[in-house]
Amino acid sequence: MNPVIADSILRAVPVDPAIEADAAKFDTMLARYKAGTLDEDVFRVFRLANGIYGQRQGGTAQMVRVKFPYGSATPEQLEMIAFISDTYSRGWAHITTRQNYQMHFVQLDDCPTVIRLLGSVGLTTREACSDTVRNVMGCHLAGACPYEVLDISAWADAAFKHFLRNPISQRLPRKFKINFSGCATDCGQAMFNDVGVIAASRTRDDGTVERGFRVYVAGGLGANPHPALALEEFTPKEELMATLEACVRTFEQEGNRDNKLRARMKWLVDTLGWEEVQRRILRSRKFLPASATWPGGIPAEVLAAGDEPAGLADGITPTAIGQGTPVTLTRRGDYERWHDANVVRGVRNGTVSATAWSELGDTTSLQLRALAAIQRDYGLQIRLTPRQNLVFRGLREEHLPALYARLAEIGMAKPGAELTRDIVSCPGADTCNLAVTQSRGLAKAIGDRLEEEGLAEVGGLRTNISGCMNSCGQHHIADIGFFGAERRAHGQAAPGYQMLLGGYVGQEKAHFGEKALRLPAKNAPEATLHVVRRFANERNAGETFRVWMERVGGAKAIAAELKHLDVFPSPDEHPEFYVDFGETGPYSAETGESECAV
């Protein structure tokens, strides 16, 4: 691809004035930085606030993170990601666990053009990184879920627009994450975020039912995970946006600006106590009408798009969803197995949703263009999922065979939704400054071994991997979780992992995985196979992984059976134990300066 094409695109398609202003300022700041008149630290803060993140390779290679609020994407947007991937990156883009797309190895000089190109299709990188309100997430089935209390799509869109470029959220003490779910199943993962919003209902004194929200505050993962806490029993619709702003304002005013390691919302609870944090948020909300930014009432986005739930079709048993879903593949054909695992049905209007499985969240430019064509041809909606896949919504039953055939042509038709092959991983030491292991390499190794042993289609079991303890791969909330760690054996450094078991998020609660044992990286796939095989053979009908784990003695009892795998042979006998996945030279835990974790 020739970058000259970008010029013709930008001449033909107007860019949102606010995004053009962002790009023009990037031009100016970049010129100052290159001329030596702008301090490195100042430029780093500016660059991150515009979604441009330095890679561990150093130099001018950058990662560009693109916001997709609540995961929603149009055909034109997917095609633009494909064009930018081919022209400025490596020919593919990565879906993150926060419903972003990000592209790596983009040259710093090209970033203003990339920002403008994204703006031509309504996308922005603004505040995708840095100490800001990050991408606002939402359940990927919102508006197409048979269980939802409300369709939270327009609410998530309103929150995204309210905080984007909002002065109160530009220089927060640390990043701030907001997630929405339409029901207690919590596919939007509200229970471990700074603010998590779950649609709920209450019965009034006169017997009528009011739909609104339950707002959870001060959750987080990272090295010290905290479950979110309910701010109040029920938040009316008219109060939701003001509640969100009150949470952000409380964090902006009270967050720790002297120590970033203790600067997230969850640390306010440790410092001030939950009752005091709760009191300050509610006090801020009470007096917020005096503010020029008061967002009270029903947002315009909701008034325009509505928030009525999809509803449940009469006489239909809806597809089970959420973590622990006991997917069972009973049919033999490739299409039938995909159909059993990847299709969700049960909504009132008779449409169905179907998952396009994206291995490790990586989507090639060819796949992106094919997905856009499918979306356009059938007039569908598409959403990115927190498990790094894509979901088509608005399908008719008669669309499914053709959809499967088109996905099969591009390698995205494997039955993956809620099966063991659907492994989540952060980018790891491939590009991240903080990672100490090649988490993507481990994910591929585990996936390959599951396929070889016939265990890739065990249902109701999630595996998540992070290249360090910061949990960008969300290892804490998976049934099987790993985070990378340097090990020492026979006087040498070696790649290793901590294995956790029993993580769970759903039904308005979060259980964080319990430490099982440490393992050499090369033995982590075998340990995973052992656990998956035991679970598949021993679980009772409909039993979730966590219930099974507790029934057989807990994480430590399972770990005792794996102790023989926590052994490093000598470098002379097995040198591969001292080389990380995908590497050729001896392992070295090289980390750089932290810029901004996912």
Of 124, 127, 135, 241, nearest to 188 (Cα)? 135
- Count the domains in the chain: 4
**Tokens describing residue 22:** 């962002």
Of 144, 143, 72, nearest to 101 (Cα)? 72
Domain membership of residue 132 (yes or no) is: no
The DSSP call for residue 90 is: S
- Is there a single domain that holds both residue 352 and residue 465? no
**Tokens describing residue 471:** 């949990």
CATH label of the domain that carries residue 186: 3.30.413.10
Residue 125 contacts by C-beta under 8 Å, 6 or more apart in sequence?
50, 51, 52, 64, 65, 66, 67, 114, 115, 118
* Long-range Cβ contacts of 24-27 (<8 Å, 24+ apart): 24/112, 26/50, 26/52, 26/111, 26/112, 26/115, 27/112
- Is there a single domain that holds both residue 526 and residue 430? yes
Per-residue pLDDT, 58: 81
Residue-wise pLDDT tens for the chain (598 aa)? 456 787 888 888 888 999 999 999 999 999 999 999 999 999 999 999 999 999 988 889 999 999 999 999 999 999 999 999 999 999 999 999 999 999 999 999 999 999 999 999 999 999 999 999 999 999 999 999 999 999 999 999 999 999 999 999 999 999 999 999 999 999 999 999 999 999 999 999 999 999 999 999 999 999 899 999 999 999 999 999 999 999 999 999 999 999 999 999 999 999 999 999 999 999 999 999 999 989 989 999 999 999 999 999 999 999 999 999 888 888 889 999 999 999 999 999 999 999 999 999 999 999 999 999 999 999 999 999 999 999 999 999 999 999 999 999 999 999 998 899 999 999 999 889 889 999 999 999 999 999 999 999 999 999 999 999 999 999 999 999 999 999 999 999 999 999 999 999 999 999 999 999 999 999 999 999 999 999 999 999 989 999 999 999 999 999 999 999 999 999 999 999 999 999 988 998 877 666 754 3
- Is there a single domain that holds both residue 435 and residue 390? no
CATH label of the domain that carries residue 364: 3.90.480.10
Query: Could you give the CA distance from residue 172 to residue 253 in angstroms, rounded to a whole number?
Result: 9
CA dihedral 499, 219, 426, 66 (to 10 degrees): 170
- Is there a single domain that holds both residue 151 and residue 272? yes
Query: Could you give the CA distance from residue 102 to residue 98 in angstroms, rounded to a whole number?
Result: 11
For residue 25, CA distances in Å to 47, 49, 115 come to 10, 12, 11
Query: Could you give the CA distance from residue 430 to residue 445 in angstroms, rounded to a whole number?
Result: 15
Q: Could you count the other beta carbons within 10 Å of the beta carbon of residue 16?
A: 16
Domain membership of residue 435 (yes or no) is: yes
- Is there a single domain that holds both residue 98 and residue 153? no
CATH label of the domain that carries residue 21: 3.90.480.20
- Is there a single domain that holds both residue 242 and residue 275? yes
Domain membership of residue 241 (yes or no) is: yes
Domain membership of residue 203 (yes or no) is: yes
Alpha-carbon 332 to chain mean position: 32
- Is there a single domain that holds both residue 45 and residue 163? no
Task: Give the predicted TM-score (pTM) of the model.
Answer: 0.96
* Long-range Cβ contacts of 18-24 (<8 Å, 24+ apart): 18/165, 19/115, 19/116, 19/118, 19/119, 19/124, 19/126, 20/116, 20/119, 22/50, 22/115, 22/119, 22/124, 22/126, 23/112, 23/113, 23/115, 23/116, 23/119, 24/112
Domain membership of residue 597 (yes or no) is: no
- Is there a single domain that holds both residue 358 and residue 493? no
> Would you call 447 helix, strand, or coil by DSSP?
helix
- Is there a single domain that holds both residue 363 and residue 291? no
**Tokens describing residue 492:** 């040498």
Would you give the end-to-end CA distance of the chain in angstroms?
Answer: 30
Residue 34 contacts by C-beta under 8 Å, 6 or more apart in sequence?
none
Query: Could you give the CA distance from residue 597 to residue 473 in angstroms, rounded to a whole number?
Result: 11
- Is there a single domain that holds both residue 400 and residue 431? no
Looking at residue 349, its amino acid is N
Query: Could you give the CA distance from residue 588 to residue 566 in angstroms, rounded to a whole number?
Result: 19
**215: phi then psi, degrees, rounded to nearest 5:** -105, 125
Per the structure, the complete domain to which residue 214 belongs is given by: 147-305
Of 99, 245, 112, nearest to 166 (Cα)? 245
- Is there a single domain that holds both residue 189 and residue 97? no
Query: Could you give the CA distance from residue 322 to residue 460 in angstroms, rounded to a whole number?
Result: 9
Domain membership of residue 230 (yes or no) is: yes
Per-residue pLDDT, 10: 84
Domain membership of residue 318 (yes or no) is: no
Give the up-direction half-sphere exposure of residue 309: CA atoms within 13 A in the CB hemisphere.
19
- Is there a single domain that holds both residue 219 and residue 77? no
Domain membership of residue 487 (yes or no) is: yes
Of 85, 82, 86, 127, nearest to 103 (Cα)? 85
